[in-house]
Amino acid sequence: MEIMDTARALNGAGVSAFLRSLPAKPLLLGLGEARHFVGELGELRNEMFRHLVEHEGYRSFAIESDCLRGLVVDDYIATGTGSLDDVMERGFSHNFGTFPANRELVRWIRAYNEEHHERLRFYGFDGPLEYWAESPRQALTALYALLDGPLPRTVVTSETLDTLLGPDGRWSNEATAMDPSQSIGRSPAAQRLRLIADDLVALLDMQVPQLSAEDAERAALYGRTAVGLLRYHYWMADTSPARWTRLSALRDAMMADNLQAIAEQGPALVFASNLHLQRNKSVMPFGDQQLEWWSAGAIAGKYLGDRYAFLASAFGTAGDDVPPPDTVEGVLSTLPWDRSLIDARRLAEAITKPVPRTSRDFAYFPLDPAHLDTIDGVVFLKQAVRLGKLG
């Protein structure tokens, strides 16, 4: 099989043809990032999303950003209330609001919603965390407020809830990332809050018939975020060698829960690191350890089956880094198009014993040729020159 037989030009027709080649229309189409803040990939992603909306019935966009902050963006694209500058500052985590392609995407979705009755949705699907984690206050208090009637007060009063939560800075202390002794995740107050969160989620199940569809969706988000954050904080206080493996796995499990909820709202394009969307285990060096955990894509894909599809991105020349000709990226660089869409499983059959690519850029994750058969497609950019700085 020739390499050309596995690939097509990446344009609207190519994307539609790729979707037709899949066994089922994906509810979640994952577009992975080989590296964050690559200008060319962000622009290509925006073009792809516009095509998916206008020609393939896609209704939602999801990004690897704080799920609670994402509500700010979703409200803005629905109502237009507020300023775009404020939304980009408050509606994203990980400095993603500074990425020009994200600003242009939000602007386009808002303009689309102004002209169409059936509106598009925007989601963050990461937890409110990075290496450390935010306070569970927002999730817990918002869930409490949506649970109407006397039952929530039988679990906890709002005054007691506020006292148990305490100052938010105790939770979001960045020093806890490397020093478990500074975490309050196993304090008596935190452990009581875990029981309260569990009881409030159970109350939500009891009261969901009286909630509007929007309130029920948001309450479920607040509930799983509160439970996930408190669980994450508990393991932040762990001192065993397995601490970071557990935390990495917990983060992706929270992502997977959000992805499955997003899938219920209709077809969505999901944009995140290849590591979070791939079907195989994620592997990452961390100090003197090598962490291994199942990604959000692997977990969500297990439940969604062929309603989940994954496109991994890869670059030829990335900055001043040119791929050796015997790597997958080197082989793909011989294709005639600047932007290509490749059938990854056929590519795995066509390339014999490619050499793994190494990169001096710690933020760039080249394709692993050993796992091509777990990918549905590869989005390949022959050149990725505009590499932004990580936050």
**pLDDT per residue as tens digits for the range 234-260:** 999 999 999 999 999 999 999 999 999
Q: What is the pLDDT of residue 149?
A: 75
Q: What is the pLDDT of residue 390?
A: 67
Nearest Cα neighbor of 189 from 155, 169, 166, 159 is 166
Token output for 76: 């803005």
Amino acid at the residue 5 = D
Q: Which residues of 336-359 are buried (b: 16+ CB within 10 A; e: fewer)?
A: ebebbbbbbebbbebbeebeebeb
Rounded to whole angstroms, the Cα distance separating 37 from 386 reads 8
Segments of the chain assigned E as strands: 7-9, 28-33, 60-66, 121-126, 268-273, 282-286, 289-293, 308-318, 339-343, 377-384
Q: What is the pLDDT of residue 391?
A: 60
Q: What is the pLDDT of residue 388?
A: 85
- Cβ-contact 184, 170 below 8 angstroms: yes
Kindly report the average pLDDT of the chain as a whole number.
95
Alpha-carbon distances of 103 from 98, 206, 212, rounded to whole Å = 8, 39, 30
The contacts found for 238-246 with CB under 8 angstroms, 24 or more apart, are 238/180, 239/180, 239/181, 241/289, 243/180, 244/286, 244/289, 244/291, 245/289, 245/291, 245/292, 245/293
Q: What is the pLDDT of residue 352?
A: 82
Rounded to whole angstroms, the Cα distance separating 138 from 12 reads 40
- Partners of 29 in beta bridges: 269, 309
Nearest Cα neighbor of 145 from 133, 156, 135, 131 is 156
Please name the helix (run of DSSP H) or strand (run of DSSP E) that holds residue 44, with its range, or none: helix 39-56
Q: Which residues of 255-278 are buried (b: 16+ CB within 10 A; e: fewer)?
A: bbbbbbbbbeeebbbbbbbbbbbb
pTM: 0.96
Rounded to whole angstroms, the Cα distance separating 212 from 210 reads 7
Q: What is the pLDDT of residue 43?
A: 98
Q: What is the pLDDT of residue 230?
A: 98
Tens of pLDDT, residue by residue, the chain (391 residues) = 688 999 999 999 999 999 999 999 999 999 999 999 999 999 999 999 999 999 999 999 999 999 999 999 999 999 999 999 999 999 999 999 999 999 999 999 999 999 999 999 999 999 999 889 999 999 999 999 999 778 888 999 999 999 999 999 999 999 999 999 999 999 999 999 999 999 999 999 999 999 999 999 999 999 999 999 999 999 999 999 999 999 999 999 999 999 999 999 989 999 999 999 999 999 888 888 899 999 999 999 999 999 999 999 999 999 889 999 999 999 999 999 999 999 999 999 999 889 999 988 888 999 999 999 999 999 999 999 888 876 6
271: Cα separation from own chain's centroid: 6
Return all residues near 276 (Cβ < 8 A) that are at least 6 apart: 32, 64, 252, 255, 282, 295, 296, 297
- Cβ-contact 157, 141 below 8 angstroms: no
3-state secondary structure of 386: coil
Residues in the chain: 391
